[in-house]
Amino acid sequence: MKVSNELWAEQLSGKLPEPLAREIDIFETEVTLRKQGKLDERLFAETRLRRGIYGQRYDNGQRHDGRKVQEIAYPSGELTKGPNTMWDAPGMQRIKIPGGGLNTEQLETMADLAEEYSDGIAHVTTRQDFQLHYVHIDDTPSLMRRLAAAGITTREACGNSVRNVTACPYAGVCPDEVFDVTPYSKALSKFLLGHPDCQNFGRKFKPAFSGCSQHACGLTSMHDLGMIAVTRTENGKEKRGFETYVGGGLGAVPYQAKLFDTFVPPEELLPLAQAIARVFAARGEKKNRSRARIKFLIQDLGIEKFKELVLEERKNLRPDPRWTEYVKDAEQFREAPLRPGGKRPLLGSESFQRWMKFNTRPQKQEGYVVVTAALPLGDITANQLRALADIARRFTKETIRTTVEQNIVLRWVSQGDLSELHKALDAAGLGAPGAESIVDVAACPGTDTCKLGISSSRGLAAELRNRLAEKSFQLDESVQNLHIKISGCFNSCGQHHVADLGFYGVSRKMSGYAVPHFQVVLGGEWDHNGGSYGLPVIAIPSKNIPEVVTRLTGLYAANKKNGEKFKDFIKRVGKVELKKILEDLARPPANPSDRTFFSDWGDPREYSLSDMGTGECAGEVVSAVEFDLAAAERELFEAQVKWESGQVEQAGTTAYRSMLRAAKAIVKLESANVTDDPGQIVREFRARYYDTQKFFDPFAGGKFANYLFAAYEKSNEPYTPDSTRYLIDEAQLFIDAAHSCYNRVGTPASA
């Protein structure tokens, strides 16, 4: 698209690191070959994904305009950049920022790219990356060259590869850390980037580092490979190491990482990661994407067997000097302040005091603080990026990091500069208080730009932020500190499982119309690196979610016991009671002529009207299928309650039964005579909905149906606490998929 595309290679000649320059040249050639029809679309899709270039919503050339699906007549016609992905459709460019570390030149580069290739906004993700949206594929080689000139790569930002190595953004300055994990995260990131042993994974692989076990900042529990700093004394000397976890992950069914080793010394960090990668590449699932993350391999093998395989692999690795060189080089990493430390200001306006309370945190180095620029929904403008670069130069030695809460922090700020720094941030529109509080809602892109989005996570996040910002400082202190996280679908990019109040998008049919909903997920824990995962309680129409937040936070403020955390409060009150409190919000509106209920936040189009038939309101008649699906959800909820009270076997049986009930409901659409026999239900379901692909999710394919088949096959085996926990999640996803299937296939067959 850009006229300058043909000039950037020349302009930056000799200014890029050679391997990156070569890498981008190769990709540019692949772009040309694809345009000439000489490169298969599937191969091109994988190659662009490995360079961080994702598709975006409507890139299949279709868009629902609120009335009907319209074909989008992209100028390049039938040319695609992947299966069912039109060449000219705008896409998303993800940009890896290892450990979230940035300098001012990089901030300014990001600003230029956001302005010239995107829509003026750079977006910080929940994994410390940046994303630019609405980027044309033709512009990506130039964009990559400009990033590379600033020392940034997009390589392996997506695809079945090692993704951004994240690290606690307070590493090196946090008073509670064991030691600074920054050097080790850098070494691992450098070592694994493009490593031959990491090129044949069935799915992505996400590593993370944390300096402590008690805070959230590193979120190691939900990563494929999680490293927590620990020390031990050997021969009277303190030695550094890592408590190492593997097989964590959110996604549709979240898994807590399992302890692999209590102490991995730094010199073993890289070879161990390499050995894990080799086992994952050799043994991980390749064909079935929904079972291809390393968490499934570990579940299938068991942690002990997995460990045995990895250690065997480690023994056989040919020694690589980089194992120690990279670590030693990285250990030279030092940060220093620009200005002498100072004293915390005692005076200041009310807004300054609020900002200091939420947006600054003391460093272990006396006289210094970390300052958070809270980015609404993770978004920052080009001008704000430049202003932030100016501020970072003025007050620090460019010690900047992105965070998993979608913010940017400045480290090594002298306390004596806080007043001036706040003024500078305020002038740039970055001085709002409330960082990491209930106002600081995190959200994935959702239906705004994501192909998988079901509900508008950003729309809801913006609405909650607006409402909460007005009153947040009057809220009870304990409520102010809660975390809200929203995903547009079950895939958990918004990290809803580890929030106090988590939401993920689902669709439901009401009064004959599809209505955007969110599942309310409660019981998650943000602290302890994402210490425990919440479970869905009830699906509520999107437009009623703000009321859910009001009720639950009000209830907590009024009824919590001394020092009781939200997670413990939820557990004490119990999900049965909580569901009762929210149940009325799940009902259709009293006045269905209020059409706003049938659209999503920030999007006035009526939500998915393709299944409306003649356009007449189907009235208030609720079909038998809807009743049956509601019953399945009720049953699943009972399973969850049983599981939480320790009745594992009953919980497993009940969750399985809820899946059968949902399957039967769907089968009845075509065959009213289906019995309660599980074998018959599964057979009929398979023949009518799986083999015909009618049940297939547009993106997840038969994944959710496979949950039913697996549950059926294992129904005679005893349920364990872990397997039941997973089954409950899978059953919820299966029932959600049944709702979606019903929305798609429409009216019941006449009996």
Partner 1 sequence: MENRLAQRLPQMQHVNVKLLLRNPEQVDLEPLIPVFHDWIRDQVGEGLLLDVADYRHVDAGPGVVLIGHEGNYSVDNTDNRLGVRYNRKAALDGSNQDRLRQAARAALIACQRLEADPRLGEKLRFNGQEIEIFINDRLLAPNCDATREVFDSDFKTFSEKLFRESEYSMSYGSDPRGLFGTSVKAARSFTVTELLEMLG
**Contact residues for partner 1 (CB under 8 A)?**
1-4, 7-8, 10-11, 13, 57-58, 63, 65-67, 70, 72-75, 88-90, 108, 111-112, 115-116, 119-121, 133-134, 136, 376-377, 379-381, 383-384, 386, 428-430, 448-449, 458-459, 462, 465-466, 602-605
Backbone angles phi, psi at 162, to 5 degrees: -80, 115
Q: How far is the CB of 3 from partner 1 (least distance, A)?
A: 4
Provide the edge-to-edge strand list for the sheet that holds 513-522.
442-443, 484-487, 501-510, 513-522, 535-541
Closer of 13 and 693 to partner 1 (Cβ): 13
Q: Token pair of 268, please?
A: 């073993």
From 651, 736, 737, select the one nearest 689 (Cα to Cα). Answer: 737
Closer of 8 and 209 to partner 1 (Cβ): 8
Q: How far is the CB of 616 from partner 1 (least distance, A)?
A: 21
Q: How far is the CB of 185 from partner 1 (least distance, A)?
A: 30
Closer of 114 and 272 to partner 1 (Cβ): 114
Closer of 249 and 459 to partner 1 (Cβ): 459
What DSSP string describes 677-715?
A: -HHHHHHHHIIIIITT-TT-BTTTBTHHHHHHHHHHHTT
CA–CA dist 23, 140 (Å, integer): 13
Q: How far is the CB of 603 from partner 1 (least distance, A)?
A: 7
Q: How far is the CB of 353 from partner 1 (least distance, A)?
A: 21
CA–CA dist 107, 430 (Å, integer): 15
Closer of 246 and 464 to partner 1 (Cβ): 464
Q: How far is the CB of 161 from partner 1 (least distance, A)?
A: 28
Three-class SS of residue 302?
A: coil
Q: Token pair of 156, please?
A: 């392996």
Question: Cβ(250)–Cβ(521) under 8 Å?
Answer: no
Closer of 54 and 719 to partner 1 (Cβ): 54
Closer of 10 and 616 to partner 1 (Cβ): 10
Residues 6+ apart with CB under 8 A from 85: 41, 45, 55, 59, 60
Q: How many CB atoms lie within 10 A of CB 25?
A: 14
Q: How far is the CB of 539 from partner 1 (least distance, A)?
A: 25
From 675, 694, 673, select the one nearest 746 (Cα to Cα). Answer: 694
Closer of 86 and 700 to partner 1 (Cβ): 86
For 165-228, what is the HEC assignment? CEECCCCCCCCCCCCCCHHHHHHHHHHHCCCHHHCCCCCCECEEEECCCCCCCCCHHHCCEEEE
Q: How far is the CB of 716 from partner 1 (least distance, A)?
A: 50
Question: In Å, how far are 252, 519, 634, 650 from 536, measured between CA atoms?
Answer: 12, 6, 12, 19
Q: How far is the CB of 494 from partner 1 (least distance, A)?
A: 16
Closer of 436 and 448 to partner 1 (Cβ): 448
What DSSP string describes 475-494?
A: S-HHHHT--EEEESSTT-TT
Q: Token pair of 227, please?
A: 């490293």
Place of tokens 């345009």: 35
Closer of 356 and 382 to partner 1 (Cβ): 382
Q: How far is the CB of 438 from partner 1 (least distance, A)?
A: 16
